[in-house]
Amino acid sequence: MSAASDAPGGAALRLERAATVDALAERVAARVIAVCRARQEAGAVPCVVLTGGSMGRASLLGIAAHAERDSVDWSRVRVLWGDERWVPAGHEERNDRLADELLFPHVEVDPAFIHRVPGSDSGLTLDEAAAQYAVAVDRAGRIDVALNGVGPDGHLCSLFPGRADLLVDGPDAPAAMVVRDSPKPPPERVTLTLPAVRRADRVWLLAAGAEKAEAVARIVRPDADDPLPAARVHGRDETVLWVDAAAGLAPA
């Protein structure tokens, strides 16, 4: 399998398949738990970037239900999000609400390690919220695994195709930026930038369902001139495209 990235220096893309979305989520959950446990055994505080959407939900359900869940000390896990919607804290459209509902009630977490994008009710402007989140991401340091749900259009985080303004890149790029006029509601968001995602040791792209099959095919065989946003990232050590049977329908 060739690398899907348009940037040098990252791990080549690898495909991981499961029959169903539930089987996929269980395997992703098992790997998240294994990575966190190994890092804790090495004396580190692992850092995981969570995602929203359908695979954000499925992967959190998978972690919460996993038999090995409590082999990780979740109070010593740092959590970031790949993107967040600019709505008030606790709003049903916020990506962090998934973790608040599906994982955090089942494990002990330390709020000092949970780095949320401020809400639209925080008193900050959208630009201030993005700048504050960029500082939190920079301070978080090493990212062990970044989970990224892939949209049917090939977006990851809130980096949408056809939006050259969102392809902020290079060593001087901030870790997070503002998105306005998002093609998917809500229109205002904060997202990690491409180089921030590439900072992760492991970048995992998650896609389940037939509506993701076209995007998956275009990640596996990226357009050389204009790759999808999800085909522009890689991990330092690992780049994995996790697909269920329906999303992986197109021959790899």
Ligand X SMILES: O=C1O[C@H](COP(=O)(O)O)[C@@H](O)[C@H](O)[C@H]1O
Residues that bind ligand X (CB under 6 A): 51-56, 82-83, 95, 149, 151-152, 158, 184
**Quick one: 76 or 184, whose CB is closer to ligand X?**
184
Q: Check residue 53 and give left, alpha or beta (phi > 0: left; psi -120 to 50: alpha).
A: left
**Quick one: 37 or 184, whose CB is closer to ligand X?**
184
How many C-beta atoms surround the C-beta of residue 252 within 10 A? 12
Number of residue whose CB is nearest ligand X: 53
Provide the minimum distance between the beta carbon of 45 and ligand X in the complex, in angstroms, as a whole number: 23
Provide the minimum distance between the beta carbon of 56 and ligand X in the complex, in angstroms, as a whole number: 6
Residue type, 78: R
**Quick one: 52 or 118, whose CB is closer to ligand X?**
52
Provide the minimum distance between the beta carbon of 43 and ligand X in the complex, in angstroms, as a whole number: 31
Instruction: Kindly provide the b/e burial profile for residues 175-200, where b requires at least 16 CB atoms within 10 angstroms of the residue's own CB.
Output: bbbbbeebeeeeebbbbbbbbbbbbb
**Quick one: 78 or 94, whose CB is closer to ligand X?**
94
Instruction: Report phi then psi at 45, rounded to 5.
Output: -100, 105
Would you state the structure tokens that stand for residue 113, as one six-digit string? 């390690």
Provide the minimum distance between the beta carbon of 243 and ligand X in the complex, in angstroms, as a whole number: 12
Quote the strand ranges of 4-53, DSSP E.
Answer: 13-18, 47-50
Beta bridge partners of 83: 191
Provide the minimum distance between the beta carbon of 3 and ligand X in the complex, in angstroms, as a whole number: 22
**Quick one: 35 or 55, whose CB is closer to ligand X?**
55
